[in-house]
Amino acid sequence: KSLNELCFEFGLELDEITSEKVIISKEKGEEKAKGASDVVLYKIDVPANRYDLLCLEGLVRGLQVFKERINLPRYEKIIPAEGEGQRLIITEQTAQIRPHAVAAVLRNITFTRERYDSFIDLQEKLHQNICRKRALVAIGTHDLDTISGPFTFTAKAPSEIKFKPLNQSQEYTASQIMDLYRTDSHLRHYLHLIENKPRYPVIYDSNGVVLSMPPIINGNHTKISLNTKNVFIECTGTDITKAKIVLDIMVTMFSEYCEKPFTVEAAEVVYPNGKTHIYPELAYRTEKVKPELINKKIGISETPSSLAKLLTRMCLKSHVIGNGNHLEIEIPPTRADIIHACDIVEDAAIAYGYNNIQMVIPKTYTIANQLPLNKLTELLRLELAAAGFTEALTFALCSQEDVADKLGMDISATKAVRIANPKTAEFQVARTTLLPGLLKTIAANRKMPLPLKLFEISDIVVKDPNTDVGARNDRHLCAVYYNKSPGFEIIHGLLDRIMQLVEVPPSEENGYTIKAAEGSAFFPGRCAEIFAKGQSIGKLGVLHPDVITKFELTMPCSALEINIEPFV
């Protein structure tokens, strides 16, 4: 409970408390969960911009600073003596495929099983979000004592690259590695990033040992173990800014375990044009913000010194300058998400506590009005319920069979909007009619006493090339009557009642009429099209026996479906 409250105060959410066993049994059933771990797991939701909270080290450090138990550590870059540091040389062959690389060294680090797992886990989490599934950046971490620099980042033809990949027992060429991992549930998602390129990126040490073939796999030779003392970290990618951020996060999170905590040994990167650059940048920068801006944006009235204290608790070391009219804020290298003054204001608001901000009536005085379509919908809902029908609320997504095959139509004729990669067969398309949802509701309630009278007023979605998004919503009203006899007259009576309510008289000129029609879902000779306001608004009739059996029903059923938007 207290962790839940602390997370909430810090702007995070403790999503659930679970265990591996519970997760597996939920997803795959009790059988599969046998033997899984019962250790309690806390699932914490971290905002996508806070890369520094993606591992236990960063999260605990952030919460400790927030609780004012520790001061924010100062991250330090140690530049080795001339000729002693590690160098990474980039060749021009990489320009076409992954032109950028950055590197750093963690010296005299002490791993335990937990630290090691966290170290690997952070790389995976960064790969998934800021690295965009390794498309923008790929991280490689190596045991520095197994290799000797300088290192070369180049690109070669797949047949020329040969090494033993991580956790494999024999050497493969790059082409064979691609085939090897085509069935790997984890790595196959990254193969497309380079597989069609003429050259694959690769990093060698001075003896020709392969460190890694980014973004696919590291070499087994440089594998990190619990006994590893010195770690060489390289990040290669197509986006230099993201690569720098990723390197900064990796080294700031785990430099805590170095012999001299929070120190990182710099590495030199040599570009194809001969220029050199020292990484990691670990750049601290200062920003100036006016206290009144923070107060005004949040709606509080704190003194400059208490605002500085609030920001310091959020890992943004701040102090008041110039007679209290400015705050000087130091942005640490862990906070790449601070881009604009509003990011600083947001952190001040989190530290102040959203629940502590006084609610006030807005200065602008307006009265909201209900959307006319929604107002009409609400009024009709009440009246249909008064007419003895029960309201149902069904899913907006359904299967292709529901809107096409089961109603005797072809899917291409329905103008249905499809979901690109549906998770289940039940949710493949957006509904183009409300009828299947109501028929499925009846099927699920066959045990209820007859007659069943159901209605729904909701949106349907159809493709429309004239709209900016290529589809439009229409508000439909659908009602069904299910009994031992079809009850066409009851549905027809309901239509007359609806028209009476929207004050449309039964006449050809400016009222509504019904004309005999054919509908694939309806019984021949028992279907009519409804015309009102000079347009066809829908159909009513007795459903075809085929449709009824396809929805696993056994009794006759009549239905009405109209578009209510013309009556708004």
Q: pLDDT for 40-56, tens place per residue?
A: 888 999 988 899 999 99
For 464-494, give the DSSP string.
-TTSTTSEEEEEEEEEEEESSS--HHHHHHH
Q: pLDDT for 339-381, tens place per residue?
A: 999 999 999 999 999 889 998 887 888 888 889 999 999 999 9
Kindly tell me if the per-residue pLDDT of 31 is higher than 80: no
* DSSP tag of 219: B
Q: What is the pLDDT of residue 412?
A: 83
Domains in the chain, CATH or no CATH each:
1-45 (3.30.56.10), 76-279 (3.50.40.10), 285-353 (3.30.56.10), 372-567 (3.30.930.10)
Handedness of CA 381, 387, 393, 394 (dihedral sign): negative
H-helix or E-strand containing 414?
none
Q: What is the pLDDT of residue 409?
A: 86
CA distance 32 to 540: 50
Confidence of residue 414 (pLDDT cuts 50, 70, 90): confident
Q: pLDDT for 519-567, tens place per residue?
A: 888 999 999 999 998 889 999 999 999 999 999 999 999 999 999 999 8
Q: pLDDT for 66-107, tens place per residue?
A: 999 999 999 999 999 888 889 999 999 999 899 999 999 999
Kindly tell me if the per-residue pLDDT of 29 is higher than 80: no
Tell me the Cα Rg of the chain.
33
Residues 201-213, mean pLDDT to the nearest whole number: 92
CA distance 370 to 403: 31
Residues 205-213, mean pLDDT to the nearest whole number: 91
Q: What is the pLDDT of residue 83?
A: 80
pTM of the model: 0.69
Residues 402-408, mean pLDDT to the nearest whole number: 87
Handedness of CA 5, 6, 8, 12 (dihedral sign): negative
CA distances from 10 to 2, 13, 186, 302, 337 (A): 12, 9, 33, 19, 16
Q: Percent of the chain at pLDDT above 90?
A: 68
Euclidean distance between the first and final Cα of the chain, in Å? 50
CA distance 252 to 75: 7
Residues 480-507, mean pLDDT to the nearest whole number: 91
For 162-203, give the DSSP string.
EE-BTT-SS-EEHHHHHHHHTT-TTGGGGGGGTTTSSSEEEE
Kindly tell me if the per-residue pLDDT of 260 is higher than 80: yes
Kindly tell me if the per-residue pLDDT of 26 is higher than 80: no
